[in-house]
Chains A and B, each alone.
Chain A
């Protein structure tokens, strides 16, 4: 019976890691897509997911303690086709120098170019050479919740981060999920001062939509389903008051008809640029800092 309880708990933890990994991969691709507007303060986007057992949510701790023999940082996800996979990372590798959410390298390399990462595999220490594209230095977390929500903020040290709640990850198709994360990253771009707001629409949420849609397109995700996702998940779906002609003040993501109209225009604008093979640069963003 204990074995059966363990099996179920392990399955639940694996699901959690799978969902978080999906978020991590999308986040890395979007960070790279936003890189031209983040100045010089960039971090590599390797397409790796890692965790340690003491980061596990309380309910997952038994499974996390079974999965990881010690409290070091383990790679749990290697995104196919991304830099981490090319560098040879494998699930189960121990990241020896990265006790936090950020990858730490053997030496503090400047700019792009390969960096060395110290790992342990099967008891042997190795150095892998990671040649990863650089992205905006944002952290992205998945949070367990019974609310459909995502948000962006920064912590006391000024580290910008975004959080997406698990129900969105569970329900959203990849393009839609990318749009929701892109929208939050849009807020981070706005907060980071890279945007000339005067050239964008007045509504903050519409501004974040506009930038998010561009990031999603630049990262190569499908966009056409995004508006549908907005209706179904960002708003309280039964609550047709969300469709009222006035934005509601008490809602963090009021989905107004004006906002979806604006998004549709943005998608058309991006579609025109894609067909013309033009540069996917949103209006109102300052010229690349580098």
Chain B
């Protein structure tokens, strides 16, 4: 029983899932323990999503120049309401762990994003946008996208800068307001999955799913950003008919540029791919098994395409090139 809420800045905490409760009589200690577990789990999962949201915002905003007419407006945040969670225990746990209320709440403010610049904080309740009441995530999403939607429907080019939105907020029982100026971003969203796998996968045209295994495996945001940039580049640029080598090397290079433009260390890409190769040797061979057990052992392997070794040469040289450009203060867009 899962519900996925809207699209403002990507993830909503409702994607965390829903608690189910039975009506069978349960002892008080078990009820408390359930509540405790739910709270801990929500806290842990939310921490992982916050980290991913920061990287997602940096990558998609930093790489807007790649997206042309695809760009969307983003404010950089995670939002949710207590009622997104089913069952009394789930709702109470969500309210405690994520500081959610009945109103739409700010769960996370992306680092360096419009919400952060406007002084919005996690825990704020969003009462209205430009005077229109906000009851659900969709209301906020529509307000953030309004300028893009209007320009598209009228066939106009997007404005260079979006007009600010006035958010009426409730903070510590006091009403306050904030002027939030949405920014351009590539439309990709990064969602999480419980899988312990290490490779992100496309789960929609503009949605990439990042397994928790990868988030836990990569301590360094710089390294993680280069892998995620690669995935985003795949989803933006892969075309039917491209061969594997073209796809991978293009995704490597554009992903590296995206990560560097987003402020991540370009040199981290090298270690990131070596680390992944050590844990998932399949990528060394471009996803192919080197040879079947039953066949002649070495002859077949030697002629195979050793994808990652070739790619790493290019990844290293791109990393050096980007580092030098950054040092000279040059623009990184190709």
Interface residues of chain A, those whose CB is within 8 Å of chain B, are 1-2, 4-5, 7-9, 11-15, 58-63, 65, 146-148, 167-168, 170-171, 228, 231-233, 236-241, 243-246, 257-258, 260-261
Q: List B97-156 residues whose CB lies under 8 Å from chain A.
A: none
Query: Which residue from chain A places its CB closest to the CB of B23 in the assembled complex?
Result: A245
Q: Is B160 part of the contact surface with A, judged by Cβ < 8 Å?
A: no
> Quick one: which of B45, B213, B274, B289 contacts A170, CB cutoff 8 A?
B213
A256, chain B: closest CB distance, angstroms: 8
Asked whether B26 lies within 8 Å of A241 as measured between CB atoms, the reply is no
Asked whether A4 lies within 8 Å of B34 as measured between CB atoms, the reply is no
19 additional contacts (CB under 8 A) given A1-B310, A58-B291, A233-B196: A4-B312, A5-B284, A8-B308, A11-B274, A12-B284, A15-B278, A15-B279, A62-B298, A167-B196, A167-B213, A170-B196, A232-B44, A238-B17, A238-B192, A238-B193, A245-B21, A246-B24, A257-B30, A258-B33
> Quick one: which of A146, A168, A241 contacts B195, CB cutoff 8 A?
A146
Chain A residues, CB < 8 A from B37: 231, 243, 257, 260
Chain A residues, CB < 8 A from B216: 171
Q: Is B277 part of the contact surface with A, judged by Cβ < 8 Å?
A: yes
Asked whether B29 lies within 8 Å of A237 as measured between CB atoms, the reply is no
A199, chain B: closest CB distance, angstroms: 22
Interface digits, B180-197 against A, CB 8 Å rule (1 contact, 0 not)?
000000000000111111
A109 to B281, CA, bound (A): 42
A207 to B38, CA, bound (A): 23
Asked whether B38 lies within 8 Å of A5 as measured between CB atoms, the reply is no
Chain A residues, CB < 8 A from B284: 5, 8-9, 12
> Quick one: which of B20, B41, B196, B289 contacts A58, CB cutoff 8 A?
B289
A62, chain B: closest CB distance, angstroms: 6
Chain A residues, CB < 8 A from B217: 170-171
Q: Is B301 part of the contact surface with A, judged by Cβ < 8 Å?
A: yes
A244 to B19, CA, bound (A): 7
> Quick one: which of B26, B29, B38, B308 contacts A240, CB cutoff 8 A?
B38
Asked whether A243 lies within 8 Å of B279 as measured between CB atoms, the reply is no
Asked whether A260 lies within 8 Å of B33 as measured between CB atoms, the reply is yes
Q: Is B292 part of the contact surface with A, judged by Cβ < 8 Å?
A: yes
Asked whether A12 lies within 8 Å of B277 as measured between CB atoms, the reply is yes
Q: Is B282 part of the contact surface with A, judged by Cβ < 8 Å?
A: yes
A8 with B274: in contact, given A58-B290, A148-B196, A257-B30 (CB under 8 Å)?
yes
Chain A residues, CB < 8 A from B290: 58-59, 61-62
B55, chain A: closest CB distance, angstroms: 19
Asked whether A243 lies within 8 Å of B34 as measured between CB atoms, the reply is yes
B292, chain A: closest CB distance, angstroms: 7
Asked whether B274 lies within 8 Å of A243 as measured between CB atoms, the reply is no
- Could you write out 18 A-B pairs with CB less than 8 Å apart? A5-B284, A8-B274, A58-B291, A59-B281, A60-B281, A61-B290, A167-B197, A170-B196, A231-B40, A237-B212, A238-B16, A238-B45, A240-B17, A241-B20, A243-B19, A244-B20, A245-B22, A261-B33
Query: Which residue from chain B places its CB closest to the CB of A240 in the assembled complex?
Result: B17
Asked whether B297 lies within 8 Å of A65 as measured between CB atoms, the reply is yes
A61 to B298, CA, bound (A): 10
Query: Which residue from chain B places its CB closest to the CB of A261 in the assembled complex?
Result: B33
Interface centre among B40, B195, B196, B277 (most CB of A within 10 A): B196
Interface digits, B306-318 against A, CB 8 Å rule (1 contact, 0 not)?
1011101100000
Chain B residues, CB < 8 A from A14: 278
A58 with B292: in contact, given A147-B196, A170-B217, A245-B24 (CB under 8 Å)?
yes
A15, chain B: closest CB distance, angstroms: 5
Query: Which residue from chain A places its CB closest to the CB of B302 in the assembled complex?
Result: A2
Asked whether B297 lies within 8 Å of A59 as measured between CB atoms, the reply is no
Asked whether B298 lies within 8 Å of A240 as measured between CB atoms, the reply is no
A243 to B36, CA, bound (A): 10
Query: Which residue from chain B places its CB closest to the CB of A15 in the assembled complex?
Result: B278
Chain A residues, CB < 8 A from B297: 61, 65
A239 with B194: in contact, given A12-B284, A15-B278, A15-B279 (CB under 8 Å)?
yes
Asked whether B309 lies within 8 Å of A1 as measured between CB atoms, the reply is yes
Chain A residues, CB < 8 A from B197: 146, 167
Chain A residues, CB < 8 A from B301: 62
Chain A residues, CB < 8 A from B196: 146-148, 167-168, 170-171, 233
Query: Which residue from chain A places its CB closest to the CB of B17 in the assembled complex?
Result: A240
A168, chain B: closest CB distance, angstroms: 8
Interface digits, B203-216 against A, CB 8 Å rule (1 contact, 0 not)?
00000000011001
Chain A residues, CB < 8 A from B161: none
Asked whether B34 lies within 8 Å of A237 as measured between CB atoms, the reply is no
